[in-house]
Structure 1
Amino acid sequence: MKLIDLLVEFGGDLLSGLGVTLQLAITGIIFASIIGIVCAIINVSKNKYLKIITSIYINIIRGTPFLVQAYIIYFGLPGAFGIRMSELTAGIIAISLNAGAYMAEIIRGGIEAVDKGQMEAARSLGLSSRKAMRKIILPQALRTMTPSLINQFIITLKDTSILSIIGIRELTMAGKLVIAKNYESMAMWSLVALYYFIIIYVITKISRYIERKTAYGK
């Protein structure tokens, strides 16, 4: 079966899978950003007990494969605690926790790249540490972090393919299901790769545009 024939017959299935992939990546990166901001602020604070907790979380996530983390969340937790969750919910939790650990380090690095005098100046003007962080430090750090944040989003988008192992019908799983029907492995995986390439290419172009805009704003 020719590539174009596969695209005509099963393009809708792949688009549906791509939609789930984008849902996982976007939702995951939103929650990961929240986790990352909280952990990064804790890591630059003086609360050593909370810093220990965040450090343990970051080291565990970064020190274990994402595949294993997905298995623990989808198979391990329900078996150990009787928790019920759908494949999609487990996937979002897994991708959020995984990306959150990396986002925490990216954001921490961005915060620490801002001159410490900025915080001192903000405090001297009567701003609380929390307000200074929100209004002064984080906006400046965002410019430094932008390329790394977008790169992390691309990594997270590609990592969603791993979640096919727990049964989520994202793009990779959609490809597997089509191959089970027609056995056109080479052609179908080429199409799946093309879908990933196109969406990541578009995101890369958008990221470069954002980088230029933020650079002009310095």
Structure 2
Amino acid sequence: MGLFDFAQIVPYIPFILEGVKVTLLFTLLSTVFGFIWGSILALIKISDFKTLKGLAVFYTSIFRGTPLILQLTFIYFATPQLTGYNITQLQAAVLTFTLNSGAYISETIRAGILAVDKGQREAAMSLGVPYKRMMLDIILPQALKNILPALVNESIALLKESALVSTIGVADIMQNANIVKGTTYRYFEPYLIAGGLYYIMVMILTWLARVLERRLRRSD
């Protein structure tokens, strides 16, 4: 047997590719839910409700100050003990990454909101525009335009970090590559294929982020 034996791995390539669907689904769900949760946290942080604001800041510090792998294993293994609910692997993964990314996204959105010219807010308030309508129609659209590239970068980070979900058995690219490794006793080939798949997906997202950035610059 030679140093590299891709012929032995070829029959397993479709199996590794099956993990792409799970990886993309997981990344999409975590990005969408993370954005929604992050938006809620950001609005709480800029509100006048001191108690809620303090809780939101504390929450963010917890999820930014502890390892993601610890959060993932805690939610997956501790949830049945604490609640009696047998959470699935995918549910635990999406919940963990939603809570984690929401903490980071909230800071990005908060910074984007605060970066909007205060004069627009003052003008809207002087015209009697309700706070909710002002935020939804005036402030948030401008803030999102400024932070959209950062949000895309967060999606790229989620995609790369998604490999961690293999530690709890989610059938993503990494987990399927691990199974092939255990079946064939070949390490280099399946991991090279997995790395290539992650690289291709990240490069596509990076390209989309650059296209988006250029279009946003032209619209200014």
- Match for residue 185 of structure 1? 187
Q: What CA distance in whole angstroms lies between the structure 2 residues aligned with 1:126 and 1:117?
A: 14
Decide whether the 8 Å contact of 1:42 with 1:50 is kept in 2: yes
- Match for residue 212 of structure 1? 214
Residue 101 of structure 1 deviates from its aligned partner by 0.4
- Match for residue 81 of structure 2? 79
Q: 1:42 to 1:4 in 2, by over 3 A?
A: farther
Q: What CA distance in whole angstroms lies between the structure 2 residues aligned with 1:4 and 1:119?
A: 64
- Match for residue 6 of structure 2? 3
Decide whether the 8 Å contact of 1:143 with 1:215 is kept in 2: no
Q: What CA distance in whole angstroms lies between the structure 1 residues aligned with 2:173 and 2:18?
A: 8
CA distances 1:170-208 after superposition (whole Å, capped 9, x unpaired): 111010001111111011111110000000000100111
- Answer with 75-84 or 18-27: which moved more: 75-84
- Match for residue 97 of structure 1? 99
Residue 80 of structure 1 deviates from its aligned partner by 2.4
Q: How does 1:36-51 map to 2 (within 5 A)?
A: 36-51=38-53
Secondary structure of the structure 1 residue equivalent to 2:147: helix
- Match for residue 24 of structure 2? 22
* Long gaps (5+) in structure 1: none
Number of residue pairs the alignment of both structures matches: 217
Decide whether the 8 Å contact of 1:40 with 1:104 is kept in 2: yes
CA distances 1:42-101 after superposition (whole Å, capped 9, x unpaired): 111111111011111101000100111011111012112212211111111011111110
Q: 1:4 to 1:207 in 2, by over 3 A?
A: farther
CA distances 1:146-188 after superposition (whole Å, capped 9, x unpaired): 1211111011111111111111011110100011111110111
Tell me which stretches of 4 or more aligned residues in structure 1 moved more than 6 Å: none
Letter aligned with residue 36 of structure 2: I
Decide whether the 8 Å contact of 2:156 with 2:202 is kept in 1: yes
Decide whether the 8 Å contact of 2:89 with 2:168 is kept in 1: yes
Residue 115 of structure 1 deviates from its aligned partner by 1.0
Q: Report sequence identity in percent.
A: 35
Decide whether the 8 Å contact of 1:20 with 1:169 is kept in 2: yes
Q: How does 1:110-189 map to 2 (within 5 A)?
A: 110-189=112-191
- Match for residue 204 of structure 2? 202
Q: What CA distance in whole angstroms lies between the structure 1 residues aligned with 2:217 and 2:12?
A: 42
Question: What RMSD in Å do the two structures reach over aligned CA positions?
Answer: 1.2
